[in-house]
Structure 1
Amino acid sequence: MATHLLVDGYNLVGSAGMAGSSGSGRLEATREALIRDLAGYRRRKGHAITVVFDGWQGGMGAEHREFQSGIEVVYSKRGERADQVIQRLARVFGKDCAVVSSDHEVVNAARGAGALVISAAEFRAKLHERPSSGPTLAFKELDRGEAEVVKRSKEKGGNPRKLPKSQRKRNHQLREF
C-alpha cells in the first residue's frame, strides 16, 4: 500500500484555480495555504507527504528541502523542473508511494515506477473532505443508485453491473487516502 504522498504543488494549485495573479506575494500565500491544507490532511490520515515546487527559473543552485508543519517541502534547483524531481522520487519510492499530479509526463513516469497515481481533482476532493463522525458502511455502487446499466452482448459472461476488476482495485487503493 502507498504510504508516502508525492504532491506536484503548482499542478495542484493550478487545477484548483488558486494560482490567481502571478505576483510574488500572492504566490507565496498560495503555497502557504496549500501547505496548511496538506498539514491538516496529514493529521487526519497519517501519511508522510512531500510537496514539490518549481524552482527552475528563479531557484537556488541546489535543491532546497525544508519541513513546514510536518510536510516536507522541496524546491527544485535552478534548471530542473518539479516534474523531474517528482519522477525521480517516484522511482525511489516505487510502489510505496502515491503521486498527486495531472501532468501526463509525471503520471506516466509514476505508473512506470509502480506508484499509485491520483489526479489533482481527485485529491483536491479528498483534501477538503471532512472526517466522518460515525461508522461508515461501504455500499456497492448499485446500492447508491450510481451504477449505469450497460448493454452487453450475449457472449459476455459475468455480472454486467459490476465494475471492472482494475477499477475495483483502484477504488480500493483510493480508499486508503
Structure 2
Amino acid sequence: MATHLIIDGYNLLGAQSAAKSEMARESLLHDLAAYRHRKGHPLTVVFDGWQQGYPVEHREHRAGVQVVFSRRGEKADQVIQRLAREYGSACAVVSSDHEIMATARAHGATVMTAQLFLSKLAASGLSSGLIQGKELDSGEDERPRRGPDKKGNPRKLPKAVRERNRQLKRF
C-alpha cells in the first residue's frame, strides 16, 4: 500500500528559497504531480488560507494532487496536524516545522524535512527548474560521531537511523 504524503506547501516553497507567489506555487504543484505520477504515492499539499482565504476549507485536485487551502482563521499547520492524526502510520509528513513534526511522530507518521524531500524531488529529475542547480546539502553528517568508549562496528549506523533510512527509501 502506498504511503499518503502530506506536504506543508509554503514550508516547502520557503525551503526552495522561492517567493511565495502564485507562479512559484503552480510550479511546485507541477513538480509534485510529476513526482506522484512516477512514485504512485497519493499527495496532499496544504497551503495557508487563514488570513484571506475561503470561509470554509477549500479542496481541489490538480493533476492527481489534492490541494487544500485552510479556512479563514485556521493555519495550514492545524490542517496538517489533523490529517496526520487521521492517517496515522499510513502517512508521511513533509515539513520543517517542529510542532508539526512532533505531532506527526506522536501519531506514528513518518516525518521528512522539507530540505530532505527537495533533495529527493531533485534526485528524481522531475523538478521544473526552481530547485535544480541549488546546493541541497543540509550540512548534517549522516553518520553520528562515536566516542572512544563505544563498542561495535563504527561504520554501522544505529538501529533507529537504519530503520528511518529504510522508511525514507520508499520516497
Q: Same fold (TM over 0.5)?
A: yes
Following TM superposition, by how much is the alpha carbon of 1:157 offset from its aligned partner in structure 2, in angstroms? 3.5
Q: Residue 2 of structure 1 contacts residue 115 of structure 1 at CA under 8 Å; is this kept in 2? A: no
The C-alpha deviation readout for 1:86-109, integer Å capped at 9, x for no partner, is 000000000000000001111111
Following TM superposition, by how much is the alpha carbon of 1:2 offset from its aligned partner in structure 2, in angstroms? 6.3
Q: 2: distance between equivalents of 1:148 and 1:80? A: 39
Structure 1 residue 6 and structure 2 residue 6: aligned?
A: yes
Percent of paired sites with the same residue: 58
Provide the residue aligned with 1:109 in structure 2: 103
Provide the residue aligned with 1:157 in structure 2: 151
Structure 1 residue 86 and structure 2 residue 98: aligned?
A: no
**Any stretches of 5+ residues in structure 1 without a counterpart?**
21-26, 132-145
Q: 2: distance between equivalents of 1:105 and 1:65? A: 24
Matches within 5 A, 1:18-167: 18-19=18-19, 27-130=21-124, 150-153=146-149, 156-167=150-161
Q: 1:149 to 1:60 in 2, by over 3 A?
A: closer
Q: After the TM superposition, list the runs of 4 or more consecutive aligned residues in structure 1 that deviate by more than 3 angstroms.
A: 146-151
TM-score by length of 2: 0.85
Q: 1:93 to 1:64 in 2, by over 3 A?
A: same
Q: 1:62 to 1:51 in 2, by over 3 A?
A: same
Code of the residue aligned with 2:11 in structure 1: it is: N
Q: Residue 64 of structure 1 contacts residue 75 of structure 1 at CA under 8 Å; is this kept in 2? A: yes
Q: 2: distance between equivalents of 1:13 and 1:85? A: 18
